[in-house]
Amino acid sequence: MSLPIRNVAIIAHVDHGKTTLVDALLKQSGIFREGEEVPDCVMDSNDLERERGITILSKNTAVHYKDTLINIVDTPGHADFGGEVERVLGMVDGCILIVDANEGPMPQTRFVLKKALEKGLRPIVVVNKIDRPQADPYGAVDKVLDLFIELGADDDQCEFPYLFASGLSGFAKADLEDDSQDMQPLFEAILDHVPPPIGDPEKPLQLQVTTLDYSDYLGRIVIGKIHNGTVQMGQQASLIKEGGEIIRAKISKLMGFEGLARIEIDSASAGNIVAIAGFADANIGETIACPDEPLALPLIKVDEPTLQMTFAVNDSPFAGQEGDYVTSRQLRDRLMRELETNVALRVEETDSPDRFAVSGRGELHLGILIENMRREGYEFQVSQPQVIYREVNGQPCEPYELLALDVPEDGMGGCIERLGQRRGEMQDMRVMGDGRATLEFVIPARGLIGFRGEFMRLTRGDGIMNHSFLDYRPMSGEVETRRNGVLIAFEAGVTTFYALKNAEDRGVFFITPGTKVYKGMIVGEHNRPQDLELNVCKTKQLTNHRSATGDELVQLQTPADMSLERALEYIDSDELVEVTPESVRLRKMPSKKLAKR
């Protein structure tokens, strides 16, 4: 007799404490042995996830509570990784929606919750961070109810159970007055409100592939929920491809989940989430079925990409100096390998063998791929992100985003003015009374390209910006984006303090003295609309009256920090970002001719 099962997904907006809450559930379930060192953010296993404090890849774990196996799936909160969310919601029978007690539901809460409600899931709402100052737990519950009604939830879904919690302190309670020291109330709520899986172990096998993984020893590993039937180690099974083709193969390895580890098992039945090796050609959404009666499950539909960039072999004068993988074949192989696990990504070959059109869900989605590739030793260059247009009912349409800003009151005017120039339409404005305001806009996706850096300047770094895909709408007019030109290196060499100091009144530099530059490399932002070429390598002519130490007390302005994300947002249509394991450089496309200073 197999254990009772509950399959539950944890969904939330970025930074509402989802991964920390999962940490508390794992630690209190007893899966770690006594004395074992347990890191924070256990589920964020990827280096980038830990550095940025966000979940990028969905992951599953399993814990035991009162003889019930609870499979917990941690999902990304950012709309750019919605491809992960849409898949994994098909594996679960319930979900836990986490909202911040201070902020309430945010735009990407709306995005993930909408997907859950469409699947017919009945969420358990957890109001997290109740121990923080300015927390308003009951106000957050009211806002969640408003959001449920707005998203068209049915009566049963609107009667959601809710709890109050602090993931960091490791407790949850059904009422604010309760005295609780642990997560037991949340475990009980999962048993009470998440229905057991409805599959029938006696029917023919049906398992839907929802996540892909790769092992050097086992090859491609597919992870998914068994909808019907029983699967056994070593048995023959059929893979039903998207086009209806059937491929027979043997299950070479069958694994279940125990805490954070995968454990080998002999068999598993309907309702279990398992990992299977042996199907090298399996893709997301396809069905692994009984070999005698192969019946396919409905394919998983994932929202299409909205943004496209060109990835190309690096052809700058510094090409090949810093990367391990620099050829078009290596770049193509890496992008094709990414397609195996990144379901929301599209890669198309172009008329040039060393250029590839890569489409994704947003700047962050593509930025994470670029950052991962440069850390692996790849060297390449990318173009400005461009939105993907579509024809709807014979009319050209473009993607629109729902944008939410949390800004200081004195930054409101500047934000409203700039978003108006970018074709944004304000939907809502609320002044909070604590010197802050929240603004909501509907804006074309191309109006958001390059806005984040400008938004940080307008709010002096004190604003919070979130956006999620809304829908495709008829094309709007011209969008005004970057206003200033750039400063471009006039010759190759090493930049000097003397040259940078002399040109300081021309704009803001992205580099420091001693930086190697080449002709055509962008070294700063001009304070006028046109581009300007500068000699940033000029040296001071020394005499016996003026020595090299004469400028010691003179200081340069602090250069602007051009991180990868900032660079992707900043570049214009005639510019490129050169990405290597050691550097991120901006450059003009080689054909661009400019007036010299």
Quick check: helix, strand or coil at residue 295?
Answer: coil
**Extended strands (E) in 284-337:** 287-289, 307-313
Q: Is 17 marked as a binding-site residue?
A: yes
473/496 Cα distance (integer angstroms) = 50
Residue 259 per-residue DSSP state: B
Residue 364 per-residue DSSP state: H
Q: Is 55 marked as a binding-site residue?
A: no
Q: Is 190 marked as a binding-site residue?
A: no
Backbone angles phi, psi at 521, to 5 degrees: -80, 135
505/534 Cα distance (integer angstroms) = 12
In the chain, the amino acid numbered 488 is I
Q: Is 18 marked as a binding-site residue?
A: yes
Q: Is 251 marked as a binding-site residue?
A: no
Backbone angles phi, psi at 322, to 5 degrees: -120, -20
Backbone angles phi, psi at 433, to 5 degrees: 95, -10
Q: Is 5 marked as a binding-site residue?
A: no
- Burial code (b: 16+ CB inside 10 Å, e: under 16) for 400-425 equals bbbbbbbbeeebbeebbebbeebbbe
Strands 507-509, 532-534: pairing kind = unpaired
Q: Is 156 marked as a binding-site residue?
A: no
563/395 Cα distance (integer angstroms) = 38
Q: Can you tell me which residue has the tokens 């709890």? A: 163
271/198 Cα distance (integer angstroms) = 7
Strands 123-128, 162-166: pairing kind = parallel
581/280 Cα distance (integer angstroms) = 31
79: how many CB neighbours lie within 10 A of its CB?
26
Q: Is 129 marked as a binding-site residue?
A: yes
Residue of 183, 171, 116 whose CA lies nearest to 144? 116
Q: Is 19 marked as a binding-site residue?
A: yes
Q: Is 30 marked as a binding-site residue?
A: no
Annotated binding site: 15-20, 128-131
Annotated binding site for GTP: 15-20, 128-131
